[in-house]
A = this chain, B = another copy of it.
Amino acid sequence: MIRFYNAQILTMNPAEQDGGLSIFLGEVHVENDRICKVIKGAFAPGEKETFEREIDCEDNLLLPGFKNAHTHSAMTFLRSNADDLPLQEWLNNQVFPYEAKLTGDDIYTLTKLAILEYLSGGTTAVMEMYLNPDRTADAFIDAGMRVVQTSAINNFNDSVEKLEDWYLRLNGKNPLSSFRLGFHAEYTTSVEMIREIAALAAKYEAPVYTHIAETKTEVDECIARYGKTPVALLCDEGIFRYGGAGYHLVHTTEDDRKRMKEHGVSVVTNPASNLKLASGIAPVADYLKDGIAVAIGTDGPASNNCLDMFREMFLVTALGKYRENDASAIPADAVLKMALSDGADIIGLPEANCLAEGKFADLFLLDIRQPNMQPVNNLLKNIVYSGSKSNVILTMVGGKILYERNNDIDRAFHIDCKPSDLYEEAEKIRRRILG
């Protein structure tokens, strides 16, 4: 058992009356990969148990880990290689040709590099979409981090048979790893293939995940092809018969949102990537108003270029305020729900959506003694408006402490490999592929 004490605790527990948004002083106890106790106040002395480790949180804040709900981890090798280009040109000239050269081992190493960044920023689970789900799962499992994968199949890469094979094999392989049905996007996938995927969703009564309406061009071209928006097409073809989520969803109509609500389609918003590729600003306030659940993702490191949920959280609220011309739009607590709890539900990890007995011990400790968090008028707002990954003291996934802040990078991570070795390997891959 591991004991966190003298902690301020933000549970985000949706079962509590206030949604677990009231911070209290207390303890969290962890046994194996689960939280076994959340205690208000101090642990009663009589109940003394044997702890493998007792961590004095020194009044810092313990909270559920971030769920980065959309990313392409292994794209670390393209970070800062091809910025300042619009989406289609970027994909066709600077992404697809290089990705074609990646081996499974490359993907394993490059994913592990991303995992370092997730852990040091308080992220405990991601929803991954990339090539080679088998080697990607290996990377997360070996490092000890939680991953939900989906696939990026389309007419140019892989097949519906492969999708079904991954779906059957990669669930239950390890408690850290699961797999959801998914495909790349309408604009890379024929309607025939979309129908086959919808048939799989019906067969397994499973939600589906895909990129939707990231750019205006994508929406316009879909309308030209099918006479309807991507959201309407996918709903009509039965893709979301059992729900699911769309990544980006920057350009949607009122009718799209009505259909999304009806079909149980959630949103994963990726504000940094959408700005940087000049794709637009998603109507997040409209989604919330319409009762559509929203999660937050960084998108891949080639388009963002970092994997920092603090930056994304600030962007979600700040861009929402700008877009609505209303400084009260998307308040801090709504953003925390997206990043910490709703995000978990949306990607299919309800067991990681809060700090409560029986939930996965996926959490991090946030330093409120850094100057950006002082003084404390409102700690929830501090997290969203002035928080930074420099505030992350410790990150735990599945009951294991995988990151503890340390200036020596090789001592900061308690995973199965050394960061400095990963850097060397990643650099070799980068040179081989990019020259």
Contact = CB atoms under 8 A, between A and B. Distances in A.
Interface residues of A, number: 77
Interface string A84-123: 1111001000000000000000000000011011001000
A342 to B, nearest CB: 20
Given A377-B430, A390-B390, A305 B86 contact: no
A409 B276 CA distance: 34
Contact of A381 (B281, B305, B388, B423): B305
Contacts of A314: 272, 311
Contacts of A390: 120, 388-390
A307 B390 CA distance: 13
A388 B306 contact: yes
Contact of A427 (B322, B375, B427): B375
A80 B369 contact: no
A277 interface: yes
Contacts of A326: 86, 278
A306 B386 contact: yes
Contact of A321 (B278, B369, B406): B278
A331 interface: yes
A71 to B, nearest CB: 14
Contact of A388 (B274, B328, B388): B388
Contacts of A85: 327-328
A377 B117 contact: no
A77 B371 CA distance: 12
A385 interface: yes
A259 interface: no
Interface in A154-184: none
A325 interface: yes
A276 to B, nearest CB: 5
Interface string A367-397: 0011110111111011001111110010000
Given A80-B382, A117-B372, 9 more contacts: A79-B375, A83-B327, A83-B331, A275-B321, A278-B326, A308-B372, A369-B409, A369-B423, A406-B407
Interface of A: 76-81, 83-87, 90, 113-114, 116-117, 120, 272, 274-278, 280-281, 301, 304-308, 311, 314, 317-319, 321-322, 324-329, 331-332, 369-372, 374-379, 381-382, 385-390, 393, 405-407, 409, 419-420, 423, 426-427, 429-430, 434
